[in-house]
Amino acid sequence: MSSAHSSVSPSIDEINKKLQDTKLDSYLFLPDDPFHLQSSDVTYKIFLPPTNSSGDIYHIISYLMLAKYKNTKLPLIQLSHDGKKTSEEHESQMNTYLQTQRCIQFAKHLGFKDSFLPPIDFGEDNKYRPNARYVKVADYLKENDKNENIYYCEQKLLTTLISYYFLTHGRVETTTILNKSYEKWSVNEKINNEIKQKVQQEIETIKTKAGSKPLIIIQYRYSSKANNNQNIDEIEILNRLAKYLDQKDYVTWYLFVDSRAKESKGISNIDNKTYCFPYEIENHDYGKLFHLEFLLQILKLKNVKGIIGNTSGCLDLAAFVGHNVLNLHKFDNEMNYQSYRIFLQSSFLIVED
């Protein structure tokens, strides 16, 4: 197994020779063009530690779509989990096992099932914090992958590579590629039609309420798990935003992208709203596909001006398929990884503190 170094490009053999004993998280190989994996005899693996959310799948799939468009060798995706195998659907009750299942199903419906390796099962010990989980996965890969021609990248790198593509190819070209790729989602004819019909009903309701007025979607996500520091705890903040937009003769529509078992009074008092999760058909949750189809179809309305929301993978997906996106992000006093990552994402959305 091998690790490798960043942007200045010694040969892969030189990297292997120098870094045989280096830890996974110390070095990273980036070819001159990250979408051109240069060596045909090397396997590239993107790994993700156990994570109690599934928003990262949008970055993984978007990278695979862009790489496929460039006709490059696709990396393999290695997910992992350490949660009990259950069937809970509400966000507050989900664990890392359920999140990996959601990710793999979403990938399958977009034609990337073969890119995903069987998830690593670390059992049911869910006490590890993120850094410890990262080390646990790294140690596992070092111990179990003995092939020297394997190169690893932590999933977060994909945000950098996607941003690189936006910067070098432009927003219009990049979102056109991604939009057309995401439009190809499919389960089967019956499920496809049911999801599309439900989304179209929502779109028709929005068209009736908005008329020809400019339309803003307010996408709201609350999570007790991932990015919980980005929660907007008081819905009244967004209600004030909606009131301001109303004074400017805009119509606002709330898009709720979490599956809380209970909603706040502020949410229940909102009339203009759509829920994405869970969206069940025959005891299967197709919320991710409902949300995706909603984004694809609402984008076709000539009066939709953009989407405003708090930080989440769901908001990134809106930007990937072509929406104008304003990301309300809470920055910490000290810069951390997530702060730097959100700045990278400013290549495809607008960030507001």
Confidence band of 23 (pLDDT split at 50, 70, 90): very low
Encode pLDDT of 127-185 as tens digits.
556 667 878 888 888 888 776 678 888 888 888 889 989 999 999 999 999 999 999 99
Q: Can you read off the two tokens belonging to residue 184?
A: 């190809």
How many CB atoms within 10 Å of residue 262?
8
Buried/exposed 5-27: b ≥16 CB within 10 Å, e otherwise: beeeeeebeebbeebeeeebeeb
Positive or negative, the CA dihedral 188, 298, 276, 340 is: positive
CA distance 83 to 95: 6
Closest CA to 141 of 152, 132, 149, 133: 152
What pLDDT score does 9 carry? Answer: 37
Sign of CA dihedral 217, 324, 246, 297: negative
For residue 121, pLDDT over 60 is answered with yes
* The token pair that represents 298 in the structure block: 């609402």
DSSP state, 113? G
Q: How far apart are CA 43 and CA 290, in angstroms?
A: 34
pTM of the model: 0.84
Q: What is the DSSP string of 216-262?
A: EEEEE---SSTTGGG----HHHHHHHHHHHHHTT-EEEEEE----SS
Q: Give me the torsion for CA of 257, 258, 264, 265, rounded to 10°.
A: 30
d(CA 113, CA 343): 31
Alpha helices in 56-95 (DSSP H): 56-69
Report the distance separating Cα 38 and Cα 126, nearest Å.
Answer: 38
State both tokens at 146: 């003995």
The 10s digit of each residue's pLDDT in 62-88 is 999 999 999 888 999 999 998 788 766
> Any idea what the Cα angle at residue 257 is, between residues 253 and 262, rounded to 5°?
100
CA dist 322 to 17, 87, 109, 172, 353, Å? 43, 33, 20, 8, 22
- Chain-centroid distance, C-alpha 284: 20
- CB crowding 103-135: b at 16 or more within 10 Å, else e: bbbbbebbbbeebbeebbebeeebebeeeebbe
pLDDT, tens digit, 9 for 90 and up, residues 174-201: 999 999 999 999 999 999 999 999 999 9
237's tokens: 């903040």
Q: Distance (Å, rounded) from C-alpha 320 to C-alpha 347?
A: 11
Q: Which of 178-187, 197-206, 227-236, 255-264 has the lowest mean pLDDT?
A: 227-236
Q: What share of the chain in percent tops pLDDT 70?
A: 75
- Is the pLDDT at 24 greater than 70? The verdict is no
